[in-house]
C-alpha cells in the first residue's frame, strides 16, 4: 500500500494537558509512523477567550490511511480522551487537526486539506515551521516558513510561548503508560 506524508496539529486545554498529548501521540502511533514532534507551545485561546491556555504541538509521519480514515481515527482518539461535543473553539481535553496530507487539496463537508485556518494561526505555524520549515502549502505554494513570516510580519506571534517540558519521540514509540489513568 502507498504511504502518505501527513502533518497533524494537536492541542489540549483541559485536564493534564501534557499527559493528554502524550497519550494521543501513543494512540496515533497505531495508525501512523511518527517521524517528528515539535516542541510544546503554551498558547492563549482563539475565538472563545474565557478558558484555560492550550498546549499545542505538531507531529509528522506517514500513514496508509485515506484522509477520511485518518479523520475518523483522529476523532475516535479525541473521544477516547474525553472530548465532548461543545461549541466552536470551546475548551477540550484533545483536538487533532489534519494540516497537510501529501500535496493534496481536498474540500469536503467535514474535511478540508490543507487545514483552512492553519495560515491564520501562530499556534499551528510556529510548531509546524519548527519541524518542516520548507514544506510547501499546496494551497498557496509558499513554504511554512514564509507563511509564518507573512502571519507575523517577521516578528514573534502573539500568545505563543515555548513550554518547558517536551514529549520525546522515543517515549511515544516505546509506549507510554499514564501514571494515573
Catalytically active residues, by annotation: 83, 92, 95, 97
The CA distances from residue 18 to 29, 68, 141, in Å, are 17, 27, 33
Nearest residue to 115 via CA among 104, 125, 100: 100
Backbone angles phi, psi at 51, to 5 degrees: -160, 165
At a CB cut-off of 8 Å and minimum separation 6, what does 33 contact? 3, 61, 62, 63
Distance CA 32, CA 48 (A): 32
Amino acid at each position: 500500500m502507498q504511504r502518505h506524508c501527513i502533518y497533524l496539529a494537536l492541542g489540549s486545554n483541559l485536564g493534564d494537558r501534557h499527559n493528554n498529548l502524550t497519550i494521543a501521540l501513543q494512540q496515533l502511533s497505531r495508525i501512523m509512523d511518527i517521524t517528528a514532534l515539535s516542541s510544546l507551545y503554551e498558547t492563549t485561546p482563539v475565538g472563545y477567550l474565557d478558558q484555560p491556555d492550550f498546549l499545542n504541538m505538531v507531529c509528522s509521519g506517514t500513514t496508509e490511511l485515506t484522509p477520511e480514515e485518518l479523520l475518523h481515527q483522529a476523532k475516535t482518539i479525541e473521544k477516547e480522551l474525553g472530548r465532548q461535543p461543545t461549541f466552536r473553539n470551546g475548551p477540550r481535553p484533545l483536538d487533532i487537526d489534519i494540516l497537510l496530507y501529501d500535496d493534496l487539496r481536498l474540500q469536503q463537508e467535514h474535511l478540508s486539506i490543507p487545514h483552512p485556518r492553519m495560515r491564520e494561526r501562530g499556534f499551528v505555524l510556529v510548531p509546524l515551521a519548527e519541524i518542516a520549515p520548507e514544506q510547501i502549502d499546496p494551497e498557496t505554494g509558499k513554504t511554512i516558513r514564509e507563511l509564518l513570516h507573512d502571519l507575523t510580519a517577521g516578528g514573534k506571534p502573539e500568545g505563543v510561548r515555548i513550554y518547558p517540558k517536551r514529549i520525546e519521540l522515543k517515549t511515544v514509540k516505546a509506549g507510554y503508560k499514564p501514571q494515573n489513568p
